[in-house]
Amino acid sequence: KEKTEDGILRDEVFFGKNGKSILQRLRLDGKAAYVTGGGQGIGRAMAHALGEAGAKVAVVDIVKEKAESVVSELTVKGIQSVAVTADISKPEDVQRMIETIASKWGTIHIACNNAGINMNSDSEDTSLEEWDQTFNINLRGTFLCCQAAGRIMLKQGYGKIINTASMASLIVPHPQNQLAYNTSKAGVVKLTQTLGTEWISRGVRVNCLSPGIVDTPLIRSESLKPLVQCWLTDIPAGRLAQVTDLQAAVVYLASEASDYMTGHNLVIEGGQSLW
């Protein structure tokens, strides 16, 4: 730190950390990323955001055509990308997905474990099948991806993992009939906190993003429509979130600008969890 004769402190704040301005520290040039559930909705928006910030992006989805369609969009924008088909609830799929991406780009720096499903039924009627399916994708799938990507990241001493949880991990949106969903997302937060504190000393940050109610195909099912109408009245922002409302947060969590953040649950919900 140097205070010069003109009285101006020329330190990292003045010159930028490692000589980089804050906007430069948000760039992801040269980074290899993947987004699960990248074929539509929030994941598609994440893939675009990471690519616009400079990363190469593997778009992973259980539906091949969806992943390929987003890759076509990214290609038009000059973003390097690849489509990978995988069911993240299956260990063999996750292993193949990680190996495919790592062999294409040499490594993985950014893992967005975003794929998830939402079913709703009254708690007393929640079937074991619904419970298992929700947990297999939302929690087991997120764990499998964290572990497989984490192994590569720990070896290289660097990585950013961003899990998509939900505001429902914190509050119980009412009227509620999403027992399995809410519980699985609370599990994603605890998974994130545990890995985030365990791995940061080895260079791997693990955080999660908890959106409020986002206007995507996920919430457009007939059964959810009446619930969405009720939830709308609970949002101080007066509207549903759009996927674009989440894009800057993903870039921030993926970038070196958030290096001191780990195990965090970043909630973006238009104030809904406060009402």
Which segment (21-29, 71-79, 87-95, 248-256) binds ligand NAD by CB under 6 A? 87-95
**What gap in Å lies between CA 189 and CA 265, rounded to an integer?**
7
One-letter amino acid of 181: Y
- The tokens describing 92, both together, are 């063999």
**Closest C-alpha to 228, from 209, 210, 215, 245:** 215
Return the number of the residue (32 or 209) whose C-beta is nearest ligand NAD.
Answer: 209
Catalytic residue among 34, 181, 252, 260: 181
DSSP single-letter state for residue 108: -
Write out the binding residues for ligand NAD, residues 156-215 only, by CB under 6 A.
164, 166, 211, 213-214
Question: 232 by DSSP, 3-state: which?
Answer: helix
Interface residue with ligand NAD among 28, 31, 37, 71 (CB under 6 A) is 37
Question: In whole angstroms, how close is the CB of 44 to ligand NAD at the nearest point?
Answer: 7
Give min distance, CB of 219 to ligand NAD, in A: 5
**Site for ligand NAD (CB under 6 A): which residue of 62, 111, 162, 191?**
62
- The reply to whether 181 belongs to the active site is yes
Cα–Cα–Cα angle for 181, 183, 189, nearest 5°? 105
Q: What tokens appear for 153 in the block? A: 């990241």
192, 206 contact by CB (below 8 A): yes
Residue 144 interacting with ligand NAD (CB under 6 A): no
Using an 8 Å Cβ cutoff, are 78 and 57 in contact?
Answer: no
Catalytic residues: 181
List interacting residues with ligand NAD (CB under 6 A). 36-37, 39-43, 61-63, 66, 86-89, 114-118, 137, 141, 164, 166, 211, 213-214, 216-219
